Amino acid sequence: MTWTRKDLLGLEYLSREEINLILETAESFKEVSSRDIKKVPALRGKTVVNLFYEPSTRTRVSFEVAAKRLSADVINIASETSSVRKGETLIDTGKNIEALKADILVIRHNYSGAANMLAEHLNISVVNAGDGWHEHPTQALLDIFTLKEKLGRIEGLEVVIVGDISHSRVARSNIWGLNKLGAKVTVCAPKMLIPAGIERMGARISYNIDQALENADAVNVLRMQFERDNEEAFPKQLEYFKDFGITRERLKRAKKNILVMHPGPINRGIELSSEVADGPGSVILEQVTNGIAVRMAVLFLTAQAGEEKK
Amino acid sequence: MKEKARVLDNQAMSRSLSRIAHEILEHNRGTDNLAIVGIRSRGAYLAQRLAEGIKKIDGKEIPVGILDITLYRDDLTLLAAQPVVRKTEISFDITDKNIILVDDVLYTGRTIRCALSELIDFGRPKTIQLAVLVDRGHRELPIRADYVGKNIPTSQNETVEVRLEETDGRDEVAIVEK
């Protein structure tokens, strides 16, 4: 199996073998972060640009740490402080970054399809760090990596994704990835937060979290994005916690060793209780650690494929 | 690919490795502060065998590590096939140890250069000594081996193939014409 894509845009477009290659490569990269000198020269002389049109700390920092552990040079551009404010288009911004002789462009954008559009117009590698409601491939890859590390397999696992499925690129990427590797995914939320047609992506739908948790090996708790609620379509916070919040009481009725995941930042007392967030099944901070290894693997593989295409 | 000559069979290989084990012990005056690190993939198996050889002679277990040098290569973008990145496994502190670095074939010296860079990122060993099963010449860097199983003069259009029980089902070394 050889990696030939200069870009990573989403898990929908990847084969099972390609996903497995990223996961295996990430396993090797995880060891690098445990060394005294947490750095290898693999991307020495390469430039990685993080172009973020949406606020993000953890994903941007994770990409930055990953690039630095591979010895790449990193430049961070936040749209609030850039010429985007002067009306420059996304493609023009991308072409300017290419003209700087950057090698990899990591993009976070509020429009679905932004990364795909850039990849079409640029010769350098484009890595999608989240586009609108479309995909967030590296988040799903680190979720899957953590599941595999903790449970030893993906095939046959039952995974519940609970929360605002409608507006979640994390849910979409997870459904694509987990399905390809043979896991069963159930999405669980109030009716108004389940998008039409999600079952065609291969997910089962549940409106009752207690039923959904019954046979689950893991539950991926999404953040309730109250800041995106322009239409007041969301249930009130307390109401949501009562009906869908992950609490110790609820987990008592689930499988004994059920894993609790969350892409962060967590809202204690809204999606999950503090006891659960800090509890024995929680792997939330391990997800953060694994995110670095996964992003190192993605940067390494796309950079090499990009080099071959030059 | 045409095989030109079989230069080591399994008995000769085992005698070479056992001699190297003796030489390592003689040179380092025993097993104190001694550790072995093999370069993936065949160097790792040879490292394991040398450790077993040393245990047979001296009765002491010494730490064994594995180095994957993929991330330290200077020719990654020149390679036709992307190598898969595998794990480096060094579970002991190498600082102040005498490290025996093991590989199957010593050729240009570039692999060893990568291995030295990587090893030094793990700590500051007292010494690093190099053991190879075959030295085939044609060095491009100022690197030499401290322990050599067999010196085999070759031409640049030949390859030396080391086959091991663990990876190839039998122990032998052959010269193959490209």
Closest CA to A2 of B69, B40, B84: B84
Query: CB-based burial of residue A50 (10 Å sphere; 0-12 exposed, 13-18 middle, 19+ buried)?
Result: buried
Q: What is the pLDDT of residue B78?
A: 56
State the total domains in chain A: 2
Q: Using alpha carbons, select from A153, A213, A148 the residue that is nearest to residue A186.
A: A213
Nearest to B81 among A2, A21, A37 (CB): A2
Task: Report pLDDT for B80.
Answer: 56
Confidence band for B79, pLDDT divided at 50, 70 and 90 = low
Q: Which of A31, A39, A44 to mutate to test the interface with B (most CBs of B within 10 A)?
A: A31
Q: Has residue B32 been placed in a domain?
A: yes
C-alpha triplet A72, A290, A118: angle, nearest 5°: 50
| Burial tier of B47 (Cβ tally within 10 Å: 0-12, 13-18, 19+) | buried
Co-location of A164 and A63 in the same domain: no
Note the pLDDT of residue B77: 57
For residues B108 and A78, which has the higher predicted lDDT (pLDDT)? B108
> Does residue B79 lie within any of the structural domains?
no
Among all residues of chain A, which has the CA nearest to that of B91? A35
Q: Is the pLDDT at B11 greater than 70, yes or no? A: yes
**Calculated CA dihedral for residues A183, A188, A193, A199, nearest 10 degrees:** 40
Residues A67 and A48: their CA atoms lie apart, in Å, by: 7
Q: Pick from A35, A71, A309 the residue to mutate for testing the B interface (most B CBs within 10 Å).
A: A35
- Asked, for residue B60, whether it belongs to a domain, the answer is yes
Question: Are A26 and A61 found together in one domain?
Answer: yes
Mark whether A147 and A125 lie in a shared domain: no
Residues A300 and A281 placed together within one structural domain of the fold? no
Query: For residue B88, which residues of chain A lie inside 8 Å, CB to CB?
Result: 28, 31
Residue B38 located in a structural domain = yes
What value does the CA radius of gyration of chain B take, rounded to a whole number of Å?
16
Place of tokens 């040879």: B46
A153 in the same domain as A283? yes
User: How much is the pLDDT for A2?
Assistant: 87
- The two structure tokens encoding residue A45: 């002389």
Task: Indicate whether A110 and A209 sit together in one domain.
Answer: no
pLDDT digits (tens, 9 = 90+) for B128-149: 999 999 999 999 999 999 999 9
**Structural domain that includes position A186:** 137-287
Residues A142 and A240 in one domain: yes
**Which residues 134-173 of B are in CB contact (within 8 Å) with A?**
none
Confidence grade of residue B171 (pLDDT, cut at 50, 70, 90): very high
Interface check for B70 against chain A (CB to CB < 8 A): the answer is yes
Kindly list the residues from chain B whose CB atom is less than 8 angstroms away from the CB atom of residue A6.
none
A148 and A108: one domain? no
Residue A281 located in a structural domain: yes
**Distance from the A27 Cα atom to the nearest Cα atom in chain B, whole angstroms:** 7
B117: nearest Cα among B133, B86, B135, B141: B141
A194 is written with which tokens?
């389940």
Is there a cis peptide before residue B41, judged by omega within 30 degrees of 0?
A: yes
The count of structural domains within chain B is 1
Q: What is the pLDDT of residue B127?
A: 98
Q: Verify cis geometry, omega within 30 degrees of 0, for the bond prior to B142.
A: no
Which CATH number goes with the domain that contains B49?
A: 3.40.50.2020
Give me the average pLDDT of each 10-residue run along chain A (310 residues): 94 97 95 90 95 92 98 91 75 95 96 96 97 97 98 98 95 98 97 93 96 97 76 72 95 95 93 96 97 98 85
> Cβ–Cβ of A36/B87 closer than 8 Å?
no
Residues of chain A found within 8 Å of residue B117, distances taken between Cβ atoms: 41
Domain that holds residue B32: 2-73+84-177
Same domain, A71 and A148: no
Find which of B71, B78, B90 to mutate to test the A interface (most A CBs within 10 Å of its CB).
B71
Q: For chain B, how many residues are written?
A: 178
Whether B65 and B90 have beta carbons less than 8 Å apart is answered as yes
pLDDT of residue B73: 83
Q: Is residue B78 part of a domain?
A: no
The answer to whether the Cβ–Cβ distance between A36 and B81 falls below 8 Å is: no
Is the residue at A5 inside a domain? no
Asked whether residue A161 falls in the same domain as residue A222, the answer is yes
CB contact under 8 A, A31 and B88: yes
Q: Are residues A233 and A141 in the same domain?
A: yes
Confirm or reject contact between B71 and chain A (CB < 8 A).
Answer: yes
Say if residue A253 is exposed, middle or buried (CB neighbours under 10 Å; 0-12, 13-18, 19+): exposed
CATH number at residue A80: 3.40.50.1370
This complex has an ipTM of: 0.80
- In a domain, residue A3? The reply is no
Amino acid at the residue B35: A
The C-alpha of A203 sits at a distance from chain B's nearest C-alpha, in angstroms, of: 33
Residue A162 lies in a domain: yes
**Whole-number Å distance between alpha carbons of A144 and A154:** 8
Structure confidence by residue, pLDDT tens digits, B22-52: 999 999 999 999 999 999 989 999 999 999 9
- At A15 the pLDDT is 97
Residue-wise DSSP of A284-295: HHHHHHHHHHHH
Q: What is the pLDDT of residue B130?
A: 98
